[in-house]
Amino acid sequence: MSQVERQLDEMEETIVSEVPGDVSITDVTYEGPELVVYTRDPKTFASNGNLIRNLASKLRKRITVRPDPSELSRPDEAREAIRRVIPEEAGVTDLDFHEDTGEVVIEAQKPGMVIGRHGSTLREITQEVGWTPEVVRTPPIESSTVENVRNFLKQERDERRDTLERIGRQIHREEMSDDEWVRITTLGCCREVGRAAFIISTPETRVLVDCGDKPGAEGEVPYLQVPEALGSGPSSLDAVVLTHAHLDHSAFIPLLFKYGYDGPIYCTEPTRDLMGLLPLDYLDVAAKEGRSPPYESEMVREAIKHCIPLEYGDVTDIAPDVKLTLHNSGHILGSAIAHFHVGDGLYNVAFSGDIHYEDTRLFNGAVNDFPRAETLVLESTYGGR
């Protein structure tokens, strides 16, 4: 039995011991950084808002509870019941049911009204129909980019679920080294504009932060061939973290999949959606200028498929010895400062990406309040001018 299987068995035993005796747990598995618990009694979890919170605190994991497929009500019945529960003012525009996971994706103009105070409406939905609701915002301005990305992810849902399970097992694998050190390697962007790319390495893990183009310079890509990056093979990278979608930070991320990378990309949801627009525009401009595109549009779709969107402030396990937290950087929609907590309090590194420090009419200024940060990698494009 592998280390991951033992972990899951132990956590299932802990969950069974913590929940009421009449609650049936049918499966416990990893999907990306989350622990997913399947149960025949989702309504019990929904009626006790503290149950999941206490389990997450005890196990120190992000937990999602889903109903066992055998306990789901019919989608047509559930659709009517959900619309009765949600206030009409919420502006629900779509309900999408996924029977394999027991989730219903609710698209609404006012997500807060669907969620309710402290999640009360979401719990009421689960109590009524058994399905686990997931809420997304209807774009206030119709966006074909957002619609295309969401439709693509729906089509690839089964494959994406398999990918997330594989990534989850990779994240929670057994640590192989007792050594403690952290190294930062720059693959571009230092003493130049563009080509942002860094590697943060530990004895256990390698994470790539950004992978961008150098504006106005043909053929100058980040030094991905070095041993710390892809020089040791694509499997040597554990994860990619994207601070924002501008091409000097994101243009060559699809290239990683052309070279065989098959791991996660962590970013915010707006950054993921912009990844469905800017790289395709990059390829289109390259073709019109007579340059050979560095990758095909299929690689852009692969990158989107491997994105794991995170909320600002959520602490997320991305490797056995690395936790990631994204914070607002105030630069563009979805831009983030990436804060890495390495080991059990060993070291903390923050990569600023591009920042705007003051509040504007569009965005709050960049966050600068970190619990700990021994090293700050800060953009200073025009800092000396």
Cβ contacts of 92 within 8 Å, gap of 6 or more: 82, 83, 86, 106, 107, 108, 109, 114
**Burial letters 249-285, b for 16+ CB under 10 A, else e:** bbbbbbbbbeeebebbbbbbbbbbbbbbbbbbebbee
Rg (CA), the chain: 22
Q: From residue 46, give the alpha-carbon distance in Å to each of 15, 72, 100.
A: 16, 14, 20
Residue 1 pLDDT level (bands cut at 50, 70, 90): low
Query: What pLDDT does 291 receive?
Result: 84
Average pLDDT in the 251-256 region? 94
- Top-confidence residue, 219 or 207: 207
What Å distances lie between residue 170 and 32, 61, 237, CA to CA?
A: 9, 15, 11
Segment 104-129 shows an average pLDDT of: 92
| pLDDT for res 382 | 59
Q: How far is CA 79 from CA 76, 95, 332, in A?
A: 5, 7, 36
Q: Which of 248, 306, 241 lies closest to 278 in space, CA to CA?
A: 248
| For range 91-107, the mean pLDDT | 91
pLDDT for the residue 251: 94
- What does the angle CA 184 – CA 343 – CA 9 come to, to the nearest 5 degrees? 130
pLDDT confidence of residue 48: 79
> How far separated are the first and last CA of the chain, in Å rounded?
59
Cα–Cα distance between 59 and 8 in angstroms, integer?
A: 11
The residue-averaged pLDDT of 190-219 equals 89
Kindly indicate the confidence band of residue 41, based on its pLDDT and cuts at 50, 70 and 90. Answer: confident
Q: What is the pLDDT of residue 19?
A: 87
| Per-residue pLDDT, 383 | 58
At position 307, the amino acid (one-letter code) is C
Q: What is the pLDDT of residue 317?
A: 95
Tokens of 290: 């007579």
Span 323-346, pLDDT tens digits: 999 999 999 999 999 999 999 999
Question: In Å, what is the CA distance from 280 to each residue of 222, 251, 252, 284?
Answer: 19, 9, 12, 6
Q: pLDDT at position 348, please?
A: 97
Residue 292 confidence (pLDDT) above 90: no
pLDDT in tens, 178-203: 899 999 999 998 888 889 999 999 99
Side-chain half-sphere exposure of 97, counting CA atoms within 13 A: 16
- Structure tokens of 305? 């498929």
Phi-psi region of 189 (alpha: psi -120 to 50; beta: other; left: phi over 0): left
pLDDT by residue (tens digit) across 59-85?
Answer: 888 898 888 888 788 999 999 999 999
Q: Is 64 exposed, middle or buried (0-12, 13-18, 19+ CB in 10 A)?
A: middle
| Mutual angle of helices 157-171 and 297-305, in 10-degree steps | 60
The pTM assigned to this predicted structure is 0.92
pLDDT, residue 102, reads 87
Domains along the sequence of the chain with CATH: 3-70 (3.30.300.230), 78-138 (3.30.300.20), 174-377 (3.60.15.10)
pLDDT at 385 exceeding the cut of 60: no
Look at 210-214, 216-220, 230-234 and tell me which has the smallest mean pLDDT: 216-220
Distance CA 145, CA 27 (A): 36
Beta bridge partners of 324: 316, 340
Percent of the chain with pLDDT over 90: 61
- The per-residue pLDDT for 303 is 96
Residue labelled with tokens 């390697």 = 185
